[in-house]
Structure 1
Amino acid sequence: MRPIHFGHLPRILWLAGAMLAAQPALAESPMGAIAMHGEPALAPGFTHLPYVNPDAPKGGRITLGEQGGFDSLNPFIIKGNAPNQVTEFTVETLMGRSLDEPFSLYGLLAETIQTDEARSYVEFTLREEARFSDGAPVTPEDVIWSFETLATKGQPRYAGAWKKIARSEITGPRSVRFTFNAQDRELPLILGLRPILRKAAWEGREFGESTLIPPVGSGPYTVAEVDPGRSITFRRNPDWWGKDLPFNRGQHNLDEIRIEYFGVDTALFEAFKGGAISAYRETNPAKWLGNFNFPAVTSGEVLKVEVPHQRPSGIEGFAFNTRNPLFADWRVREALIHAFNFELVNRTLNGGVQPRITSYFGNSFLGMKPGVPAEGKVKTLLEPHAAELLPGAIDGYALPVADGSEANRKNMRVAVKLLEDAGWTVRDGVLVNAEGKPFAFEILLTNGQDEMISAANIYIEALKRLGIEARLTTVDNSQYKERTNAYAFDMTHFIRALSLSPGNEQVLYWGAAGVTEPGTRNWPGINSPAVGALIDAMLQARDPADFTAATEALDRALITGRYVVPVWFSDTSRIAYRRGLHFPDRFPLYGDWPGWQPQTWWAE
């Protein structure tokens, strides 16, 4: 080694200081968990998640039913229609999400996660014992390949995070680091939830093509049987590497999970009544009260449970495609919102007991209060966009309430005035614009959506009173996916579930890129700089109060954008199930959310 002379020490110290200044903020120590805001609830060394039964026995089977069908086993791409359960049951992520916290992740494939205070990078260290179902170890190469392939050949929702990665590098035999080129505090968590696939299993195959070959994952189940379009069976892997992890204890207890597909919901319900299906979610409270009196219920062979939750209502309803000039004017959209007689529809279909969605983040502390003006930090965030925002965003907005009569006269008078202000008038019973073009559009739904079809038919009759011709078209699932990916519709059923920790998915749901880029989740074609700025404010917030304010401001911008005719939501889940199936006594914060059934259930 070349000797260092003391006369050069000041220069050496200066160089060392300059090198340190050029480095990112000092890293935190590797951790076994991470939270989006604050600290994870579970301390290191926890033995199991709080909403599972750690002593649940293994064995048994469950058969669940779904509407529709499938023609692919690649759920990561636009092409084809694949079961979501392929991802849920056979593929794992680096970190696992607790359903009992707004957004906290705990080590799964990754033993530790490391980042700095600014979250300018993230480093994962894989567990030495992590294995794919074919016995091959999960490697850093698999992680990098999965992230890049999903981003470049998979669904558009995977691309955003990859664009924010400046550099990916293998830093050790089991560690991989991603350095970011953009400020986004959610990125470490997003990457922690990316599916990890086996790179070697795709050699010689095109990732972007639909296939009936299941992906090789590291999850608790493998695909055992496939009857395309009709059923798929998952079998628990007896050699699953992760069965003894504290995060997994009490989960994935069933030996076999089978999914049966049905064309319409009535057929699915009859299959449950007949014993072919093990559990059935009833979204209609009127049917919950009236239809569950068949012999298996009265004998105790079928049991019922209501699962409460504290998550946002999300948004569901009939979405306007604002790319269509017909719906470009907000006054037209507001008129059609007034024409939708929610009280009549709710009474007809739900016995009048379902609460209406009042805003995207309603039913939670993140949502706005209907009709109440914005205040404090929320108002401060909205005011710079006052010229763009639509009426009600700052001074308060609430959906119209009908008197419940079929005529709905008060709201229809408001609708007529709004349409006149937008340049539409009635001639010979037909609503036309200045050029004499009639107001006509299509409502696109899928076969078997019985409740939405009924709601649409009631809506169509109401629109006739305004001189509007709305026609209902139903298609199969594959046609529906093709048309919605291309935004080839006027109005359609729209549903987006939202969490207590919204993040980058909001860009995919409402971001301006979705106006023209095919396959995004922005079906209404929302193109609002204000919405984009409020999403940025939400993503950059570090203080929980700032985050809550930004989310409420976003909520106000979205609901007053009049992009959707909102319908109802369930503040509780209603599940009927066969005796012999069990679930923990304690429900998680998110209630009946993906990851609870069948993951935490067991059989005698």
Structure 2
Amino acid sequence: MSPDFLRPFRSLVAGIASIFVTSVAHAESSHGIAMYGDTALPPDFVSLPYANPDAPKGGKAVFGNTGGFNSLNPFLQKGTSPWQLPFWTHESLMGRSWDEPFTLYGLLAESVETDPDRSWVEFTLREEARFSDGSPVTIDDVIWSYETLGTQGHLRYRGLWGKIDSIEQTGPRSVRITFNEPDRELALLAGMRPILKKAQWEGKDFADAQLHDVPIGTGPYVIESYEAGRFVNLRRNPDYWGNDIPFRRGTMNLDELRIEFYGDGSVLFEAFKAGELSAVREFNADKWDTQYNFPAVQRGDVIKTEIPHGKPSGMTGFVMNTRKAPFDDWRVREALMLAFNFEFINDTVTGGAQPRITSYFSGSDLAMQPGPAQGQVKDLLLPFADVLLPGTLEGYELPKGDGSARNRANLRKAAGLLAEAGWTVQDGVLRDANGDAFQMTFLLQQGDSEMATVVEIYSRALERLGIQVTTEQVDNAQYVGRTSELDFDVTTFRRALSLSPGNEQRLYWGSETTDAPGTRNLMGVSSPAVDAMIDAMLASKTREDFTAATRALDRVLTAGRYVIPIWSFDIGRIAHVKDLKHPETLPIYGDGPQYMPEVWWYDAR
């Protein structure tokens, strides 16, 4: 790996050191905007630092998804669409650099302007910005997009709309958004909303769009053809408007992108081995080491590439629905965590190669520190001492097993906690005071064989406690429907977290959307302490204040025992055909939807 690989991490340290410098300058137009401090790239930057501006254009890549789709509109609450579409077909006013904690540069907008308090933000559109049908992007399109997505779009778009006091045209190509509450992040969030074409939806019900109602975008790719549930084929728009803007140089280099759909991950992997797919991401370290030795790898036709990163672990595991008894009792949740024999399961499923997630921000400076809360963290938490769960202030660590299959000591502790919560074993079945059996169902997506294996091992321990366990595996559409309606006991969970957490934390665990259909707060957290820690994060003006608030939030969530954490994805693993290349310089965020295939190219030499 090139020495340039170290440059992003050096820039990260420098960026974080200045991240909380408060701007005192008067509002002025700029090519970019950082959450705090200055942008890393100057106005005359040539390309993003992890893109190759000289990358050749051409070639085709085929990717695989599991399940199916019944929508090609990724901006709606209803339906299931291919997750890649927003990244390939649509654009926002500003684009995010993944080599800085949180910085945006001009995309559809040529410049951004805001006041020192960021009570408003103004964007000026590029004169050359076009939709894929060749029509210009107008301020009318921008205003309509913000209002429509904010009132009829997916839940993830609606939070910002409620914080907008006004949105108005201020010039032929400029729009100003004024906010109704103090929050420095809103100026950046406003730059990241997808822009849709207003005229396409005149006389139509946007919220009730059908499969054939493919939204027109401004992105480099357009959907050329599709077959419901089987494939989507996209081609690079030969008249794409943004080929020469700095943010796009060296990106979106492939001429054709195709998504094939498979019933489960095993079938998808076999398709890759057979040469039907161009690349796959592998999240299991043991499988990476033991099953990627098929003939194409041995011949050198398939390359195994590892992509390090510097971001927090986020949270991956099994989330418990605390809206339902008995999961509303923290003692029950702790008992279920004690019964989860991570050391044995990890060794069985991943060969013990992947470390466990220890908190929501583990692996970063934002993670809660071991032992009792100290200093600012303690000061933030003390007002909520009466409602905080045990371990929040004193210090909390995940239960550890002894590595054996039976995990007897932890099961004894689990039985004791269940007894405290009113559950006792009667004739081999765990029952409450009314004689009702403890029953729990794991909701899994069809084809998720790895998690099915984990649940199978875990169920044996739960059954030894007298818990009756059921597993339901449903297709993608059913899974989305069930989780959107909060119809589950326990299900799989993944929340990726950034080096600059902000308003998205309200969506993940804020009380405002706890019971809303489609909420991302799957565990059902409704905690004044959580809300207050998020408020403190968003109000922070110094690095110390921000770090303390995030560490305090991490403590409340981790000690809340809402999710049974599994292993972390400490490195990205991509297996790909040898003709797909990527720059040697890597972004601090490593692999992700905006990395592969965005900055990759095809070279058959």
Q: What's the TM-score, normalizing by structure 2?
A: 0.94
What are the equivalent positions in structure 2 for 1:343-354 lying under 5 Å apart?
343-354=343-354
Residue pair 1:335, 1:414 contacting (<8 A) in 2 also: yes
| Alpha-carbon shift at residue 209 of structure 1 (Å) | 1.4
| Alpha-carbon shift at residue 434 of structure 1 (Å) | 1.1
What are the equivalent positions in structure 2 for 1:211-360 lying under 5 Å apart?
211-212=210-211, 213-360=213-360
| Aligned CA-pair RMSD | 1.1
Letter in 1 for 2:437: P
Residue pair 1:73, 1:210 contacting (<8 A) in 2 also: no
* Matches of 1:510 and 1:30, distance apart in 2: 35
Q: Provide the residue aligned with 2:544 in structure 1.
A: 545
* Matches of 2:359 and 2:72, distance apart in 1: 35
* Cα deviation 1:535-572 (Å, max 9, x = unaligned): 11111112122111111110111010110111111100
Overall identity of the aligned pairs, in %: 57
What are the equivalent positions in structure 2 for 1:74-113 lying under 5 Å apart?
74-113=73-112
Letter in 2 for 1:44: P
* Cα deviation 1:349-398 (Å, max 9, x = unaligned): 000111101001111111113x4222121111111111111111111111
| Alpha-carbon shift at residue 573 of structure 1 (Å) | 1.0
Letter in 2 for 1:358: T
* Matches of 1:93 and 1:553, distance apart in 2: 33
* Matches of 2:371 and 2:78, distance apart in 1: 44
Q: Provide the residue aligned with 2:17 in structure 1.
A: none
* Cα deviation 1:241-267 (Å, max 9, x = unaligned): 110001111101100111111111111
Residue pair 1:93, 1:194 contacting (<8 A) in 2 also: yes
* Matches of 1:26 and 1:244, distance apart in 2: 31
Q: Provide the residue aligned with 1:5 in structure 2.
A: none
What are the equivalent positions in structure 2 for 1:137-148 lying under 5 Å apart?
137-148=136-147
What are the equivalent positions in structure 2 for 1:474-513 lying under 5 Å apart?
474-513=473-512
Q: Provide the residue aligned with 1:19 in structure 2.
A: none
The DSSP-based 3-state class of the residue aligned with 1:65 is: strand
* Cα deviation 1:13-65 (Å, max 9, x = unaligned): xxxxxxxxxxxx98510111111122211111111111111110000011111
Q: Provide the residue aligned with 2:468 in structure 1.
A: 469
* Cα deviation 1:140-192 (Å, max 9, x = unaligned): 11111001000111111211111111111100000001111111111111110
* Matches of 2:210 and 2:311, distance apart in 1: 35
Residue pair 1:253, 1:600 contacting (<8 A) in 2 also: yes
Q: Provide the residue aligned with 1:445 in structure 2.
A: 444
Q: Provide the residue aligned with 2:55 in structure 1.
A: 56
Q: Provide the residue aligned with 1:183 in structure 2.
A: 182
Residue pair 1:128, 1:174 contacting (<8 A) in 2 also: yes
* Matches of 1:428 and 1:439, distance apart in 2: 13
| Alpha-carbon shift at residue 451 of structure 1 (Å) | 0.6
Q: Provide the residue aligned with 1:593 in structure 2.
A: 592
Residue pair 1:92, 1:109 contacting (<8 A) in 2 also: yes
Residue pair 1:37, 1:543 contacting (<8 A) in 2 also: no
Residue pair 2:58, 2:602 contacting (<8 A) in 1 also: yes
| Alpha-carbon shift at residue 84 of structure 1 (Å) | 2.1
Runs of 4+ aligned residues of structure 1 deviating over 6 Å after TM superposition are none
* Distance change in 2, residues 1:73/1:501 (3 Å): same
Letter in 2 for 1:245: I
Residue pair 2:442, 2:488 contacting (<8 A) in 1 also: yes
* Matches of 2:432 and 2:233, distance apart in 1: 54
Letter in 1 for 2:360: Y
The DSSP-based 3-state class of the residue aligned with 1:177 is: strand
* Cα deviation 1:443-499 (Å, max 9, x = unaligned): 100110111011011111100111111111111111111110010111111111111
* Matches of 1:383 and 1:498, distance apart in 2: 26
Q: Provide the residue aligned with 2:412 in structure 1.
A: 413
Q: Does 1:158 align with 2:163?
A: no
Residue pair 1:280, 1:576 contacting (<8 A) in 2 also: yes
Segment drifting more, 573-582 vs 25-34: 25-34
* Cα deviation 1:84-138 (Å, max 9, x = unaligned): 2221111100000001011000010111111111111111110111111111111
Q: Does 1:379 align with 2:378?
A: yes
| Alpha-carbon shift at residue 211 of structure 1 (Å) | 2.0
* Cα deviation 1:191-235 (Å, max 9, x = unaligned): 100000010011122110142222111111111111111111111
* Matches of 2:209 and 2:200, distance apart in 1: 15
Q: Provide the residue aligned with 1:560 in structure 2.
A: 559
The DSSP-based 3-state class of the residue aligned with 1:151 is: helix
The DSSP-based 3-state class of the residue aligned with 1:418 is: helix
* Matches of 1:515 and 1:300, distance apart in 2: 50
The DSSP-based 3-state class of the residue aligned with 2:170 is: strand
Letter in 2 for 1:333: R
| Alpha-carbon shift at residue 515 of structure 1 (Å) | 2.4
Residue pair 2:84, 2:593 contacting (<8 A) in 1 also: no
Letter in 2 for 1:304: K
What are the equivalent positions in structure 2 for 1:13-24 lying under 5 Å apart?
none
Q: Provide the residue aligned with 2:168 in structure 1.
A: 169
| Alpha-carbon shift at residue 271 of structure 1 (Å) | 0.7
Q: Provide the residue aligned with 2:582 in structure 1.
A: 583
The DSSP-based 3-state class of the residue aligned with 1:328 is: coil
What are the equivalent positions in structure 2 for 1:28-39 lying under 5 Å apart?
28-39=27-38
Residue pair 1:95, 1:106 contacting (<8 A) in 2 also: yes
Letter in 1 for 2:346: N
Q: Which of structures 1 and 2 has the bigger CA Rg?
A: 1
Residue pair 1:27, 1:114 contacting (<8 A) in 2 also: no
Q: Provide the residue aligned with 1:13 in structure 2.
A: none
Residue pair 1:80, 1:210 contacting (<8 A) in 2 also: no
Q: What's the TM-score, normalizing by structure 1?
A: 0.95
Letter in 1 for 2:549: A
The DSSP-based 3-state class of the residue aligned with 2:238 is: coil
* Matches of 1:178 and 1:454, distance apart in 2: 49
* Matches of 1:527 and 1:112, distance apart in 2: 39
Q: Provide the residue aligned with 1:65 in structure 2.
A: 64
* Matches of 2:566 and 2:595, distance apart in 1: 25
* Matches of 1:529 and 1:560, distance apart in 2: 15
Segment drifting more, 80-89 vs 530-539: 80-89
Residue pair 1:320, 1:564 contacting (<8 A) in 2 also: yes
The DSSP-based 3-state class of the residue aligned with 1:346 is: helix
Letter in 2 for 1:290: T
Residue pair 1:79, 1:210 contacting (<8 A) in 2 also: no
Letter in 2 for 1:231: F
The DSSP-based 3-state class of the residue aligned with 2:232 is: strand
* Matches of 2:31 and 2:578, distance apart in 1: 38
Segment drifting more, 210-219 vs 266-275: 210-219
Residue pair 2:68, 2:261 contacting (<8 A) in 1 also: yes
The DSSP-based 3-state class of the residue aligned with 1:122 is: strand
* Cα deviation 1:262-314 (Å, max 9, x = unaligned): 11111111111111100111111111111111111111111111110111111
* Matches of 2:372 and 2:53, distance apart in 1: 47
Q: Provide the residue aligned with 1:456 in structure 2.
A: 455
Show structure 2 runs of 5+ residues with no match.
1-23
* Matches of 2:156 and 2:296, distance apart in 1: 43
The DSSP-based 3-state class of the residue aligned with 2:466 is: coil
Letter in 2 for 1:289: D
